[in-house]
Amino acid sequence: MSSSLSTRPRFDVQLAAAYAALIGSITAFCVGTSFAKRLFPLVGAEATSAYRVGFAALILLTVWRPWRGRITRADLFATMRYGAAMGMMNLCFYMALRTIPLGLAIAIEFSGPLAVSLLHARRPAHFAMVGLAVAGLALLLPIGPGDHGLDPVGIMFALGAGLCWALYILFGKRLGHLPGGQSVSIGMATAALIVVPIGIHQGGLALLDPRLMALGLGAAILSSAIPYSLEMVALKRLSHNSFGIFLSLEPAAGALAGVALLGEHLTALQWLAVLLVVMASAGTMLSAEPSEAPPSAGS
């Protein structure tokens, strides 16, 4: 009796906390992005993106103070390239959200990390996941005679965000030898140098309104600062595959947040498309080698 009790698996509090942190990260991102979308009628998508990236850069620079560490010119260039991809990813994603529901924009954007994960596909399971992803995107992209109700310009911006996400992952993998806080803070500062001037050009002096700045700061904290921090907690305990599989739920979480917070009701085919993308992403991680890194956090 005692031996059976001793072999019973114990509840791992730290592992449970890691899963809770990742779920919290996804939730905060979806809620924060829904909150940010409500700023669009007030200042526009470009200015909202400038708020998010600009405030996130200030927060990260204050916390990590990357100038205290030494960095070579080559590493600085690589980090700025990574940050440029990050900035364009954020801007394109917010431009897509002007006309596309949140869950569908995330699903289309997931084409980027899926392409990276499947770049070296060799197993039959990998090609099956490609088929699922293509089927899901085919239900969303206006490539057939039917009217899917999605704005083609918004779709192009979502695909652009996916491309930038793919570059963000590829460039980020080359920074693994640098301290995480240093590379992320310099990268976000570079993103701000690109996105903030565009937002200022679009929003003008309205961006200096204290009430709007407070709303923009709230969006930056919810959709950037909190998710990135929680993901760092989760990655310390979760395997790459477990992290990637849970991250694959983001399109579904975004769709649910869009329904609950923005009133963005999807058709049955659109829900099916989201499900196929989630299945393709989760299946990719399930069939990946344990040593393969998961897709980094997206927009």
User: Is 58 domain-assigned?
Assistant: yes
Quote the pLDDT of residue 140.
86
User: Is 2 domain-assigned?
Assistant: no
Q: Which residues contact 57 (CB under 8 A, 6 or more apart)?
A: 185, 188, 189, 191, 192
Quote the pLDDT of residue 121.
66
User: Is 210 domain-assigned?
Assistant: yes
User: Is 278 domain-assigned?
Assistant: yes
DSSP code per residue over 37-72: HTTHHHH-HHHHHHHHHHHHHHHHHHHH-GGGS---
Quote the pLDDT of residue 148.
55
Quote the pLDDT of residue 96.
97
Quote the pLDDT of residue 252.
94
Which residue range forms the structural domain that includes residue 126?
12-286
Count of structural domains within the chain: 1
* Per-residue pLDDT of the chain in tens (299 residues, 90 and over written 9): 445 555 555 667 888 888 898 899 999 999 999 999 999 999 999 999 999 999 999 998 998 899 998 999 999 999 999 999 999 999 999 999 999 999 999 999 999 988 887 776 677 887 788 888 889 988 887 654 444 568 999 999 999 999 999 999 899 888 888 887 888 899 999 999 999 999 999 998 889 999 999 999 999 999 988 887 788 778 777 777 777 888 889 999 999 999 999 999 999 999 999 999 999 888 887 776 655 555 666 67
User: Is 297 domain-assigned?
Assistant: no
* Residue 139 burial (10 A CB sphere; 0-12, 13-18, 19+): buried
- The candidate with the shortest Cα–Cα distance to 101, out of 150, 144, 147, is 150
Alpha-carbon distance of 273 to 269, in angstroms, equals 6
User: Is 143 domain-assigned?
Assistant: yes
User: Is 296 domain-assigned?
Assistant: no
Alpha-carbon distance of 57 to 186, in angstroms, equals 8
Q: Residue 177: how many CB atoms within 10 A of its CB?
A: 7
Quote the pLDDT of residue 297.
63
